Amino acid sequence: MNYARITGLGFYVPDTIITNADLEQLMETSDEWITTRSGIKERRFFTEGRDTVSKMGACAAEIALERAGLQPKDIDFIIFATLSPDYNFPGSGVLLQRHLPFREIGALDVRTQCSGFIYSLSIADQYIRSGMYENILVVGSEIQSNILETSNRNRDFAVLFGDGAGAAVVQKTTDPQHRILLPIFTPRGNMPKICS
């Protein structure tokens, strides 16, 4: 039986560090207030003209591929999770292929906000279990800093987000002891009828 396992992980964060003290200059907040509620001390913000969602994803993917012992040509499919794509069309998964020497392969964008990477892992798991693919690259990349309102009105939200990317190489295995375990979500109680 086919299973999926993660064989390599990578990440990329931009160079610009924004501390809680920096945010104190933009809104009524404090390091203590932010740290107590979130545990966050600093976040990274992208540099205009240098960092893009697809390029950050490619940087994270390079590391994940190296740690998995694979080359871009070994990947069968790309799943790219983002809420903030470089363009609405084409998707960031396709743009990622411009940065690394991939073969011509399929790419799927998943745009489900915070849960995007988990959904992407679930999709990769199903593709591998079905036997359709053996090596899938899953990438999550976001640029949020350019849409954050850094004001008192938005201080609960703005202090949480930054920019960066993560990547995972998901590969086929037949070992049930080393595989991805994903939660199965089931509705509670009777679901309401939308159309009757």
pLDDT tens series, the chain, 196 aa:
999 999 999 999 999 999 999 999 999 999 999 999 999 999 999 999 999 999 999 999 999 999 999 999 999 999 999 999 999 889 999 999 999 999 999 999 999 888 999 999 999 999 999 999 999 999 999 999 998 888 888 888 889 999 999 999 999 999 988 888 766 666 666 656 666 5
| pLDDT for 91 | 92
Could you count the other beta carbons within 10 Å of the beta carbon of residue 104? 5
Distance CA(166)–CA(81), nearest Å, equals: 10
Sequence ranges of the domains in the chain: 3-173
Q: Are 101 and 72 in contact (CB under 8 A)?
A: yes
pLDDT for the residue numbered 17: 97
The amino acid at residue 166 is G
Q: Which two tokens stand for residue 76?
A: 């069968």
Residue with tokens 């079905």: 130
The CATH number corresponding to 3-173 among 3.40.47.10, 3.20.20.60, 3.40.50.1820, 3.30.70.890 equals 3.40.47.10
Task: Say how many C-beta atoms besides its own lie within 10 A of residue 24's C-beta.
Answer: 14
CB-based contacts of 29, cutoff 8 Å, min separation 6: 20, 23, 155, 159
